[in-house]
Amino acid sequence: MRTIVALCGGVGGAKLALGLDRLPVDLRIIVNTGDDFLHYGLPICPDFDTLAYTLAGLANVEQGWGRAAETLAVQAELAGLGETTWFTLGDKDIALHLLRARLLAEGARLAPALDDIRRRLGIRCAIWPMSDHASPTLVDTEEGVLAFQEYFVGRRCTPVVRRVRYGAGVGCPEALAAMTSDRLDGVVICPSNPVLSIAPILAVPELHHALAGRRAPALAVSPLIAGRAVKGPTAKIFAELGLEVSALSVARYYEGLIDGFMLDEADASLAPAVQALGITPFVAATLMHTDEDRVALAECCVDALRALRS
């Protein structure tokens, strides 16, 4: 069985991760933990949680985050006690945060704690955090430096971004082992936000070094289609950072770290420009509405990695 490592953020990344998880591959996902924070003392890992809920079939797909069929009794009680909560805490979601809090309080590193949780949720593939240590992403905006969730949820990404600062903690040993394994057949960078979801992973020095010195090919899938993000602030942030808002710009962003780049069919005309960067272009339908779309794109990625290896 092929061993594949996928670098993943939240919603966009989780869609492709689900497709890859349905294939007969040995999948190891490295997830961004730059968004992690404490809320009411509970350790929250937004990208891991979105990924885990998606892979376990528990995600609220319409909403784009949290659990399906969620209830808000705890949040209503907090409101009754005069608390204003800017970060929605569903009851089922809180159960997961409580379990994680217990595992960490008993001394577990983050990686084994998340591994325990994903097993309890019946998830087949391995999921490792980029780091066991707090590596918070800070967003330097025209209104000052904001903690990630303050920017993303509290301010709904409205402040203009000038720079993003990454935590760059020590790499998680299991994530590093996956990246440097002799059995590795390829790396897929999922169509996550390059600046907010993938760059925090690549800012972990050991992981960056492992990808830069890779022996197996790496392929990134564009989160921008026809110059637009499917969802979220990727296009807005690219523009604010002075980057061209296009799939080609995403390929440039990963230059030196990827061998192949998956463009959407709508961007097929960019293939020669991607090739000119020394990156092999591939074209597929990358908009994932259904699980069939997710599996089909995952198959295209595995085929592309095979082509890059030969």
**Residue 94 or 221 having the CB closest to ligand GDP:** 221
Question: What minimum distance in Å lies between the beta carbon of 143 and ligand GDP?
Answer: 20
Q: Which residues bind ligand GDP (CB under 6 A)?
A: 9-13, 15, 47, 50, 191-193, 197, 221-223, 225, 229-232, 234, 286-288
Question: What minimum distance in Å lies between the beta carbon of 173 and ligand GDP?
Answer: 24
Residue number of the CB closest to ligand GDP reads: 12
Dihedral of the alpha carbons of 166, 170, 175, 178, in degrees to the nearest 10:
120
Tokens standing for residue 306:
């095979």
Tokens standing for residue 170:
């020590």
**Residue 10 or 90 having the CB closest to ligand GDP:** 10
d(CA 68, CA 58): 6
Question: What minimum distance in Å lies between the beta carbon of 287 and ligand GDP?
Answer: 5
Nearest to 142 by CA among 163, 166, 161: 161
**Residue 266 or 277 having the CB closest to ligand GDP:** 266
Question: What minimum distance in Å lies between the beta carbon of 165 and ligand GDP?
Answer: 17
The angle subtended at Cα 168 by Cα 280 and Cα 218, nearest 5°, is: 15
**Residue 108 or 138 having the CB closest to ligand GDP:** 138
**Residue 13 or 169 having the CB closest to ligand GDP:** 13
**Residue 267 in 3-state DSSP?**
helix
Beta bridge mates, 29: 6, 127
Tokens standing for residue 29:
């996902």
Question: What minimum distance in Å lies between the beta carbon of 99 and ligand GDP?
Answer: 22
